[in-house]
Amino acid sequence: IMKILITGPDGTPYSNGCFIFDVYFPNEYPTTLPSINLETTGNHTVRFNPNLYNDGKVCLSILNTWHGRPEEKWNATSTFLQVVVLNDYYFFSIIEDEISQYYESIDLSGNNHVTR
């Protein structure tokens, strides 16, 4: 297992955030794709964007967790760097309208009470 820490870039809703991912490489890697899980989920209560679920699921074509064109799917010539770059791209570059639509569609009423 490998742990990856990605920090949110300035000028995005994720700025200064630290996001931890666990990566598991099976014995058959690179023939078999690695599995990736988002660990920064607020104890499974936060879904940061449409590609990152609150249960830790990471949806990317290259991980076969999202539909996509055949050339976007994992194959033996794929590299882990491609996964990290795509994850970073989809994580941080969702346009503002999509983020607004997503947050308008979820129930945040449980976040109205803050305990110190």
DSSP class of residue 93 equals -
Spell out the long-range contacts of 73-80 with Cβ–Cβ below 8 A and sequence spacing 24 or more: 74/33, 76/30, 76/31, 77/30, 78/30, 78/33, 79/30, 80/23, 80/25, 80/34
- State how far the Cα of 7 lies from the Cα of 15, in Å rounded to an integer: 7
In the annotation, is 18 catalytic? no
Q: Which of 4, 23, 46, 59 is catalytic?
A: 59
- State how far the Cα of 24 lies from the Cα of 32, in Å rounded to an integer: 11
Strand pairing partners for 8? 15
Tell me the catalytic residues: 59
